């Protein structure tokens, strides 16, 4: 046991408290007046397999009926015709002059160093936690 654990245990022992006779009799009296609840009833058995099967079939039949109805009706008049977009609304193409940013070597090195430091710190914390608990 390490120093901190010993100190925490010792300091907890310094907290003086005991259950007084008054509290003891109060608790006993309260317990006498209480009845433990009965264990909860077991849950009802789930519906039978045939019920599940019947409801699935009904659902599938309903879905097929809806799909058939929608397809038999055909497209609404006027639908499917795309009006030409007036030339005035066409957005002109913009020529972008973009260049790829190139990191200089020292910056790349710096990032690698930082990542290595982070990894080391993470490993140290993990090791500390595993060692203690």
Partner 1 sequence: MIEAARKGSAAAFTDLVGGYREGLLRFLLTRSASFADAEDALQDTLINAYRYLHSYDSRWRFSTWLYRIAINNAARLKTVDTVELGDLSDERDDPLRHCIEASDRENLWSAARRLLSDEVYTAMWLRYVEDMSVNDISGVLERSVSWTKVNLMRGRKTLDAELNKVATDEKSKAYG
Residues near partner 1, by CB under 8 A: 3-5, 7-9, 11-12, 14-19, 23, 26-28, 30-32, 34-40, 125, 128-129, 132-133
Question: Of 16 and 99, which CB lies nearer to partner 1 in the complex structure?
Answer: 16
Q: How far is the CB of 18 from partner 1 (least distance, A)?
A: 6
Q: Which of 52, 54, 56 is nearest to 64 (CA)?
A: 56
The residues, any chain, with a CB within 8 Å of residue 111's CB and separated by 6 or more, are 103
- Report how far residue 12's alpha carbon sits from residue 20's, in angstroms, rounded to the nearest whole number: 19
Question: Of 111 and 125, which CB lies nearer to partner 1 in the complex structure?
Answer: 125
Q: How far is the CB of 38 from partner 1 (least distance, A)?
A: 7
The residues, any chain, with a CB within 8 Å of residue 106's CB and separated by 6 or more, are none
Question: Of 17 and 85, which CB lies nearer to partner 1 in the complex structure?
Answer: 17
Question: Of 8 and 61, which CB lies nearer to partner 1 in the complex structure?
Answer: 8
- Report how far residue 130's alpha carbon sits from residue 133's, in angstroms, rounded to the nearest whole number: 6
Q: How far is the CB of 119 from partner 1 (least distance, A)?
A: 18
């Amino acid at each position: 046991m390490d120093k901190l654990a010993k100190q925490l245990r010792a300091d907890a022992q310094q907290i003086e408290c005991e259950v007084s006779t008054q509290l003891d009799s109060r608790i006993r009296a309260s317990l006498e007046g209480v009845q433990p609840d009965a264990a909860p009833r077991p849950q009802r058995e789930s519906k039978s397999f045939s019920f599940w099967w019947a409801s699935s079939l009904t659902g599938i039949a309903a879905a097929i009926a809806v799909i058939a109805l929608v397809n038999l009706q055909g497209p609404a008049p006027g639908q499917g015709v795309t009006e030409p977009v007036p030339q005035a609304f066409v957005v002109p193409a913009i020529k972008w002059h973009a260049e790829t940013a190139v990191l200089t070597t020292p910056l790349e090195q710096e990032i690698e160093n930082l990542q290595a430091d982070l990894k080391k710190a993470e490993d140290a914390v993990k090791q500390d936690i595993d060692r203690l608990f």
